[in-house]
Structure 1
Amino acid sequence: MGQKQSMFAPVKQRSFRNLFIGSLFSDSANWLDMTALAVVIAYEWGMGATEIASMMIVLALPWIFIGPVVAVWADRLPRRMLMVTCVLIRAVVILGLFFVPNLYLMLALVFLRACVATLYNPARMSAIRSLVSDDLLPQAISLGQMSMYLTQIGAPMLGGALIPLIGARQVFLVEIGFLLLSALFLAFLPPLKSEANESERGQHFWKQFAAGIVHVKSKRILSVSIILMTIGMFIVLLYDGMLVIWTKDVGLGEHAFGYLVSALGIGSVVGALLMGSIPRWHKKPLHMLITLALICGLLDVVIGLGGLKVITVGLWMWFLYFLFFGIFSAAAMIPFSFIIQKETPKHLIARVSGVSTATTALSMLLAPALGAWLSSLIGIGGTFVIAGLFMSLIAVIVLLLLSRILNEKQDVVNESPAPSA
C-alpha cells in the first residue's frame, strides 16, 4: 500500500508541511550567506583563494569534531524547541556578520554558525522519522533532498541579484528574515519530545555518545552504506572545485561553466523527484545505492575522457550529459538517507546522522588537496578518470560482497524492523 503513495503525500500532513517549509527557508538562508560571505571576502576586502579556502575549512571542522558529540543532545532534547532555538541563534550570528570588520572575526562567527548547524541538522533528521509513517519515509526523504537542491540553485541566484541592488552585507539582513520565517513555521510543529528509551535514561553522557558509533559498527548494512557514501563524497571532492578548469581544457569557453553548473543543479532536482516517485527501490535501498555509485563512477570516466580530448562533443551535448550526471548523483543520496533512517531506531537517529556527517565532512578537508596533487601529475581529465574507475571498483567490490552483507545476524537490541536492502 505504501508503494502507491504520491511523491508529495507527506506535505499533506500539516506537521511535515511546517517542517518542509521551515527547512526551505533555513536552507535558503544557508546558501544566501555563503554567497554574501564570498563576495565580502573577495570584493569588499580584496582577498583571494586562500581566505576563501580558510572559510571552507572552518565550516567543515565542527561537522567532524563537534557534530557527533552534540548529536547526543539532538536525541535527548525536545526537537521542536531545539530546532527553533538553533535557527534563532543563527539569526543572531548572521546579524554579527553584517557588522563584522575583519576576516578573523568573520571566521569565528562562521565557526559558531557551523556549530549550531551540527545540532540543528541531526534534530531535523530525527524529526522526519517522528513525523512521517514508514510508508511515507522515502517520499519525505526525497522531498528533503529536493528542498536542499532547489535552494542550492535558487538562493545563490537570489543573492547574486540582490548584491548589485542592496550590497553584499545587506543580504545578511535578508537572510535573517528567512531564518525568522523558518523559526515561525518550526514553532508550529508538535513538541517532538525525546525518543530516548528507558534503558538510556540516566546514562552517562559519553555512554550515550558511544551508542551511535556502536550501532553503526553493529549494523553491517549501515556501516557499508556510510563507507560507500564517504568514498563517493571523497571522490567527488577530488575534482569538484576543478570543473571550471576542466571546462577550459575541453575548450568550451568561459560561459560554459555556468551552463554546466546549472545542468548539475537541474539534474539534482529531477533526480530527487524521480526517486520520490519510483517505489521499487524501497525494499532494496542498498542495491540501488550500489547501482547508482557504479553509474556515477562510469559517468566520471567519460567526463575524464573528455578532459583528455579522447571524446570531443559540443557544449550542449555536455550540458545534457551533466544533466544526467546530476540526476544520478542526486538520486544516490536518497537510498543512503533512507538506509540511515530505516536501519536506526528512533532514539539514535540524530547520533547516527552525526557520525555519518562527520565521516563525509572529513573528506572536505582531505580530498581537495589530493585532487590538486593528482591534477598536477595527470591533469584534470586523468583525475576524473582515476576517480571514476576507483568509484566503480568500490561499487563492484561491495556488489560481490552483498550477499554476505545482507546475511548479517540481526542481534542488535531495541531495533525497529528494517527492510531488505
Structure 2
Amino acid sequence: MRLFAIRDYRYLFGAQIIALFGTGLTTVALGLLAYDLAGPRAGMVLGTALTIKMVMYVVIAPLAAAYVDRLPRRTFLVLLDVVRAAVVLALPLVSEVWHIYVLIGLLQAGSAAFTPTFQAVIPDIVTDQSDYTRALSASQVAYTMESLLSPVLAAVALAFISFNWLFLGTSAGFLLSALLVLKTRIPNARPSAHTQAWDKAAAGIRAFLRTPRLRGIMALNLVVAAAGSIVVVNTVNYVRDELGGSQSGVAWMLAASGGGTLLAALVLPRVLDRITARTVMTTGAGVLVGGTIAAVALLAAGLTTWTGTAIVWTVIGIGMALIVTPTGNVLRASVRPNALPEVFAAQFSLSHLAWLITYPIAGWLGTNSGFALAWSVLAALAGAGAVGALLLWPRHDGRRAVTEPTAEPVTPGRPAPRTDRSSLSKAA
C-alpha cells in the first residue's frame, strides 16, 4: 500500500495504534476500578470521571490548536505521551474516588492537547489527496480495531490477572508511542491565517457555524454521544448488576459494540466511493436512534438477556462508524489547508461537548433514576440530533464551502488558491 510506504506516516500511525490500545485498556480498567470502589454507584463515578474528561477536551483542545504552530510539535507530542504514561501508572494506587477524578483530569488534559496536534500533523506528512483520504480511513480503522480488540484483550487478561495490571499496559503503550514519535520527521507547522491565539481558537468554531454541512456534523455529534454514552458509561453496571456477569463479561459486551464499528468501518471506504457522505452519515444517525430505542424497549419488556444486549450494542457500534468515519473528509473538503488544524480542533471540542451533555445523563440519571429513564432521555436527544442534521445539512450541498474567516490570504500578483470542487461534491 503506497500510504504505508511513507516512512514518517508509518511511524506516526504505529504510535497512534499503540497509544490507542493503551487507552482502550484504561477505559476497561477504569470502569472496573470504579465498580471496585463504588459498587452499584459505579455508573455515577464513571460518568463523573468521563465528564471531567470532556471538560478538558472542550477547553484545552482549541487552545492547543491555537498555539501548536508556535511549538516544536514532535517534542510536544513526546512530552504529552510521557506525562500520560506517568499519570496512568498512578491510577492503580488510588484508594478514594476523588483520586480518580484528579488523575483523570491530568490524564485527559494531556490527551486533549495531543489529539489535535496529532491530527494536524497528518496532512503535513501525507500531502497527496487520495493518500490523505486513505490515511483518514486507516486512522478510523485503528480506532475501531482498538474498540474491538482492547476489550477482547482485556477479557483474556482478566482471566489471569487483576484489572490493576491493565493500567501498567497503558503506561507502557504511551512510552512506546513516544519512542515512535521521536523517530518521525515532523515538519514545522504552517503559519496560520490568524495571528492571535484566541482568534485561532475561535476560527474553527466560526467555520462550523457558517458552513451548512459542518452545522449538520454538529447535530450528528449529539447523535453519536447520546447512543455511545449508553455503551461507555452503563455497560459495567448493566452487565454486573442486571445480567449478573463478571469482569470479563463487561469486556466482551464492549467488544460487541466494537465489532459492529469494525464491520462498518471496513465496508465504508468502498461505499463512500458511490454514495455521498451526507447519505451515509444521516443513515448512521437513523441506525443510532433505532439502537437507543431498542435498548429502551428491551428494558421495558424485561428482556435483559445477553443476546439481546449484544445485538443492540453491535447496532450502536455500526451506527457510530457510519457517522464518524466520513467526518475527516467532510472537514477537509470544507476549509483550506492552513485552516485544517483549527477546524479539526473545533470538531474535537464540539464532539466532546456533546459527550459532556450525555455522559452525566447516562451516569448520574442512570444511577439515581434507573436505566429506563436515562436511556429514554438519550434516545430523545439522539432523535433531536438526527432531525437537526437533516435540516441543517442541505441535501444538495455542492457549492463552495470555504468560509472567509478561514480562507488562505491571497498575495497580490498571485492567483487565488483553488478549491477542490470534486471533494466538496463528494463530501456533500
Report the TM-score when normalising by structure 2. Answer: 0.79
Aligned length: 405
Structure 1 residues 205, 279: closer, same or farther in 2, change over 3 A? closer
Deviation at 1:350, TM superposition (A): 2.8
Query: Is 1:342 the counterpart of 2:342 in the alignment?
Result: no
**Are the equivalent residues in 2 in contact too, given 1:67–1:118 (CA < 8 A)?**
yes
Name the aligned partner's letter for residue 68 of structure 2. Answer: A
**Are the equivalent residues in 2 in contact too, given 1:259–1:319 (CA < 8 A)?**
no
Name the aligned partner's letter for residue 206 of structure 2. Answer: V
2 CA distance for matches of 1:95 and 1:18? 24
Query: Is 1:419 the counterpart of 2:424 in the alignment?
Result: yes
Give the structure 2 partner of residue 5 of structure 1: none
Give the structure 2 partner of residue 219 of structure 1: 211
**Are the equivalent residues in 2 in contact too, given 1:303–1:384 (CA < 8 A)?**
no
Give the structure 2 partner of residue 194 of structure 1: 189
Percent of matched pairs sharing the same residue? 18
Give the structure 1 partner of residue 19 of structure 2: 26
Deviation at 1:254, TM superposition (A): 5.4
- Local SS of the residue matching 1:194: coil
Name the aligned partner's letter for residue 135 of structure 1. Answer: S
Give the structure 2 partner of residue 4 of structure 1: none
Give the structure 1 partner of residue 10 of structure 2: 17
Give the structure 1 partner of residue 414 of structure 2: none
| Stretch deviating more after TM superposition (158-167 or 340-349) | 158-167
1:170-226 residue CA offsets vs partner (Å, 9 max, x unmatched) = 4333322222211122222222211224x54xx23222222222333333322322x
Structure 1 residues 247, 393: closer, same or farther in 2, change over 3 A? farther
Give the structure 1 partner of residue 255 of structure 2: 262
2 CA distance for matches of 1:246 and 1:51? 14
Give the structure 1 partner of residue 121 of structure 2: 127
Structure 1 residues 278, 80: closer, same or farther in 2, change over 3 A? farther
Task: Provide structure 2 residue ranges, at least 5 long, that are not aligned to the other structure.
Answer: 409-416
Structure 1 residues 214, 10: closer, same or farther in 2, change over 3 A? same
Report the TM-score when normalising by structure 1. Answer: 0.80
1 CA distance for matches of 2:207 and 2:381? 30
- Local SS of the residue matching 1:191: coil
| Stretch deviating more after TM superposition (269-278 or 41-50) | 41-50
Query: Is 1:273 the counterpart of 2:278 in the alignment?
Result: no
1 CA distance for matches of 2:230 and 2:138? 28
- Local SS of the residue matching 2:325: helix
- Alpha-carbon RMSD across the aligned residues, in angstroms, is 3.8
Give the structure 2 partner of residue 136 of structure 1: 131
2 CA distance for matches of 1:277 and 1:127? 26
Task: Provide structure 1 residue ranges, at least 5 long, that are not aligned to the other structure.
Answer: 1-7
Structure 1 residues 144, 314: closer, same or farther in 2, change over 3 A? same
Give the structure 1 partner of residue 87 of structure 2: 93
Deviation at 1:121, TM superposition (A): 0.4
1 CA distance for matches of 2:240 and 2:95? 36
1 CA distance for matches of 2:321 and 2:221? 14
Query: Is 1:64 the counterpart of 2:55 in the alignment?
Result: no
Structure 1 residues 143, 389: closer, same or farther in 2, change over 3 A? same
Structure 1 residues 82, 276: closer, same or farther in 2, change over 3 A? farther
1 CA distance for matches of 2:23 and 2:82? 13
